[in-house]
Amino acid sequence: MSSDVRFTDFKSDKQPTWCPGCGDFGTMNGMMKALAETGNDPDNTFVVAGIGCSGKIGTYMHSYALHGVHGRALPVGQGVKMARPDIEVMVAGGDGDGYSIGAGHFVHAVRRNVDMTYVVMDNRIYGLTKGQASPTSRSDFETSTTPEGPKQPPVNPLALALASGASFIAQSFSSDALRHQEIVQEAIEHDGFGFVNVFSPCVTFNDVDTYDYFRDNLVDLQEDEDHDPNDYEAAKEVILDSDKEYQGVMYKDENSVPYHEKHGVTEDMSEIPEGAPDDAMDLVREFY
């Protein structure tokens, strides 16, 4: 790990094919800056992504990376981290990827509390398939597959995380660059599963949850001196408040014990002997 890493070292030379103005640009920039700022470099970083616009992130960043299948990025990230505790793992997903097809994995990744960072680019729509309702779409949001709206309430990912026993829950807004970076940075530095839901507007298909909407409605918890992220009850109140949109760190368990500490998973598993282990015949003798 070199100390002179710049965030541009995490940039690949591939030009993103995201739509001009897409919120994902800001989300990714903040992730790269946060990684550099926390002392990581591309050779000790593993980025995992799922499917959708968010899934393209591994191509536009430079690091060890895997672009996986829809909804399954979190298990891949956990496998990487368990086998290689020395590697910084960041998982990127979208609202469809993470809260629909991957919702089951989300719950279990949260409760395992593996020391990694999960950034969800939440634009409240399916963009890459050209504008269908996502799990976070409003119940009256009209789309090609839901002409009268989904008619079901949106998933509250923060509440889902809280209910699953999350040790770090945050939300940011991709165009509030500095705050977004700070929040992701805090998630990286957290000992355990750092979850950040990022409002990352889709300028092509979502004309409701727009930059203007978030700018006008977003309440920053940092400006609320009363909010203590270590206070579970306060976090619950903010997270379950459906009248407002918040950014900031909602909840942070100061006593979080990450998976590798709890289960003693601390070895670099990539190194193995050249033959069977020295005491391997003991494995056979067990069957006498």
Residues at the contact surface with another protein, assessed by CB under 8 A: 13-14, 42-48, 58-59, 62-69, 72, 74-84, 86-87, 104-105, 107-108, 263-265, 267, 269-270, 272-277, 280-281, 283-285, 287-288
CB of 79 or CB of 131, closer to another protein: 79
Q: Which two tokens stand for residue 89?
A: 């793992």
CB of 110 or CB of 133, closer to another protein: 110
Task: For Cα atoms 62, 64, 69, give the angle at the middle one, nearest 5 degrees.
Answer: 105
- The SS3 call for residue 245 is strand
CA distance 33 to 9: 10
In the complex, minimum distance from the CB of residue 275 to another protein, in angstroms, rounded to a whole number? 5
- CA dihedral for 238, 242, 245, 247, sign (positive or negative): positive
In the complex, minimum distance from the CB of residue 267 to another protein, in angstroms, rounded to a whole number? 4
CB of 147 or CB of 275, closer to another protein: 275
In the complex, minimum distance from the CB of residue 12 to another protein, in angstroms, rounded to a whole number? 8
Q: Cα(first)–Cα(last) distance of the chain, in Å?
A: 49
Q: Which two tokens stand for residue 93?
A: 């997903």
| Amino acid code (one letter) for 8 | T
Q: Which two tokens stand for residue 23?
A: 């919120």
Report the candidate in 181, 250, 173, 183 with the shortest Cα–Cα distance to residue 216: 173
CB of 178 or CB of 284, closer to another protein: 284
In the complex, minimum distance from the CB of residue 133 to another protein, in angstroms, rounded to a whole number? 23
CB of 46 or CB of 168, closer to another protein: 46
In the complex, minimum distance from the CB of residue 283 to another protein, in angstroms, rounded to a whole number? 5
CB of 68 or CB of 194, closer to another protein: 68
Which residues 6+ apart lie within 8 Å of 29 measured at CB? 7, 177, 181
- The SS3 call for residue 182 is helix
Phi, psi of 242 (to 5 degrees): -85, 0
| Amino acid code (one letter) for 274 | E
In the complex, minimum distance from the CB of residue 86 to another protein, in angstroms, rounded to a whole number? 7
